[in-house]
Amino acid sequence: MNALPALIRSEATLLSRNPTAIFMALLFPTALLLLQGLVIPGTDEVLGGDDPAFAQLRAIDLFIPIALTVALGSVTLTNFPSAIGGYREKGVLRRLATTPVGPQRVLIAQVILSGVSLVLGAAIAVVAAVMLLDAQAPRSVFLVIGVFALAAVQMLCLGSLIAARASTAQNANGIGMVIFFVCLFTAGVWTPGPLMAEPLRQISGYTPLGAASQSLTAAWYGQPMSLIPIAVMVIWTVPLLFIAIRTFRWR
């Protein structure tokens, strides 16, 4: 039985026929960054300030990890759950429920495929930002990839929980959006880098996207990596996926 590879192949084929989904998965982070860098004024001025870790950077440099974080959130919390919500709404999941395939494979196939497309999308964005906007390349590429992949898996597991329960695509989108905006706040999208107050920063470090954003920023600028956000991400991942599989609704 090759159910998991078959599901992944099938979903990949469907994705290849859906231009909107391809855009969201592969080009959304790039579009976000280019918009920020090319259209919004003042993003290439040096920040200055007291914090030596950030003083030499321009806003656009800070914005790269943020853009990746936004892409992480939007793909995993809205696109992916609403795809499964749509399957539930249409009765596709009910059809699958009559087979021996089980919810874990359906979810894991989606998690893997979305994870791969997210990493690809992030890579395209980083290359574009470095080449077109002259942004600062990451200090340690491998560390960044590792952190990003972990963050992607973790956020997909959180998305799985919405995917497991939402009755329709719209319903999934609604729930996803609410969580997405909370996550954006804890990820410091409106208060990048040193701008977030320290107590808030510490609390945010325990939330899924906050932990992702903090480790990604640290990895990017070669700052000392704290193990706490990494551990936070690992700890979020497994139980979320487990709960999603256990509470999965076929209809």
Partner 1 sequence: MPAIRIQNLRKTFGKHVAVGDVDLNVAQGEIFGILGPNGAGKTTTVECLTGMIRPDRGEIRVLGLDPATDLSALRHTVGYQLQSSELPNEMRVGEALQLFAAFYPNPADIDELLETVGLRAHRKKAFSSLSGGQKQRLSIALALVGNPRIAVLDELTTGLDPQGRRDVWELIENVRETGVTIVLVTHFLDEAEALCDRLAIIDHGHTIAEGTPSELIEASGLPSNERRPSLEDAYLAIIHNNELLRAA
Contacts to partner 1 by CB under 8 A: 1-3, 5-7, 10, 13-14, 17-18, 87, 90-92, 94-95, 97-102, 250
Q: How far is the CB of 145 from partner 1 (least distance, A)?
A: 31
Q: How far is the CB of 7 from partner 1 (least distance, A)?
A: 7
Q: How far is the CB of 87 from partner 1 (least distance, A)?
A: 7
Q: Helix or strand or coil: residue 142?
A: helix
Which of 4/124 has CB closer to partner 1?
Answer: 4
Which of 106/155 has CB closer to partner 1?
Answer: 106
Q: How far is the CB of 103 from partner 1 (least distance, A)?
A: 12
Helices and strands (DSSP H and E) totals, the chain: 12, 0
Which of 4/143 has CB closer to partner 1?
Answer: 4
CA distance 102 to 105: 6
Which of 13/42 has CB closer to partner 1?
Answer: 13
Q: How far is the CB of 108 from partner 1 (least distance, A)?
A: 14
Which of 98/199 has CB closer to partner 1?
Answer: 98
Q: Is the dihedral of CA 122, 215, 48, 56 positive or negative?
A: negative
Contacts made by residues 186-192, CB under 8 angstroms, sequence distance 24+ = 186/210, 186/213, 187/66, 187/69, 187/70, 187/73, 187/212, 187/213, 188/66, 188/213, 188/214, 189/66, 189/69, 189/70, 189/213, 192/59, 192/62, 192/63, 192/66
